[in-house]
Amino acid sequence: MLDHFSASFRFCLATTFEARNRAYALRHSVFRRELDYQMSEDPLQQLESDEYDEKSLIVLLEHPASGLAAGSMRLVYPCESAAQPLRQLPLEAHCLSSLTHPSLHPGKLPRERICEISRLAVPHYFRRRSPRESGPVSEPPPTDYAFSETDRATFPLIGVGLFLAATALVGLSGHHHVFAMMQERLPRLLAIYGLRFTCVGEPIVFHGKRRAFYIDQRQAVVDMQPGLRDLYRHIETELAGQYRSPAVPSGHYDNA
């Protein structure tokens, strides 16, 4: 199944205007239309983005056979040369009072080594293992492509794959201290694969009920489930060539 996933999906850094708008459109579809989160948007173009996207690395997961984007996630880190709020992580700007861990706190770690992963978005037609499953929206995928049962069996790996992509980018950029605001069921799921996040904050209502979590990317690679390491190395190799490419905006290297 991991081999089929690797062969069927492609991880891409969104480094062009068109690719980033594709990610923003996917996020708008999931966050605004499906989940009705109150987030910044361009309602006319149906794009969801905020000020942090300016200095973010954005990953798109592509499904070439259907031509669809299957998911997206971004990596944000403080940019000391920028104006506020880009000198902070999003959770520092929005959820600072909820952070209660005595040592695993962005204010107590080297600024040049912290980052935040956020905006995990997977459209409903890549979350359902059967086309008959119900969900918050009923609109079909924007394609005539017919997913096979083997295709659908890989769908649960999409979210994990996006976290592996974020883990790879964190390693490539050197921002090893990783924070994320997540609903509590997600860290439990990721722990099955060896990605063990530590809760570092109290519950807060922020696009749903969430807590702040932390993981050290270096330890995450060590603890990763052995069966997942080949997929991780595949994703890491795929992204490494793109990360080193001159096409990646130089601003993404400010604190690397």
Dump pLDDT digits (tens) for 50-84: 999 988 999 999 999 999 999 999 999 999 888 88
pLDDT tens profile 216-239: 999 999 999 998 999 999 999 999
The pLDDT-based confidence of 47 (bands split at 50, 70, 90) is very high
- Are 140 and 125 in contact by the 8 Å Cβ rule? The answer is yes
- The burial of 127, by beta-carbon neighbours within 10 Å (0-12 exposed, 13-18 middle, 19 or more buried), is given as middle
Cis peptide bond upstream of 85, omega within 30? yes
Which amino acid, 119?
R
- Are 115 and 170 in contact by the 8 Å Cβ rule? The answer is yes
The pLDDT-based confidence of 133 (bands split at 50, 70, 90) is low
Residues in the chain, total: 256
Question: ∠ at Cα 186 (239, 26), nearest 5°?
Answer: 55
pLDDT of residue 49: 95
Mean of the per-residue pLDDT values for the chain?
90
Cα separation, 71 vs 126, in Å, equals: 8
- The burial of 67, by beta-carbon neighbours within 10 Å (0-12 exposed, 13-18 middle, 19 or more buried), is given as exposed
pLDDT of residue 136: 55
pLDDT of residue 128: 73
**DSSP state, 71?**
E
Q: Which of these, 222, 25, 237, 200, lies nearest to 95 by C-alpha position?
A: 200
**DSSP state, 84?**
T
Residues 151-165 have a mean pLDDT of 95
Asked whether residue 256 carries a pLDDT value surpassing 50, the answer given is: no
Q: Going from the N-terminus, what domains does the chain have, and what CATH number goes with each?
A: 2-133+153-247 (3.40.630.30)
pLDDT tens profile 176-196: 999 999 999 999 999 999 999
Strand ranges inside 174-229, DSSP E: 177-182, 198-199, 204-205, 209-216
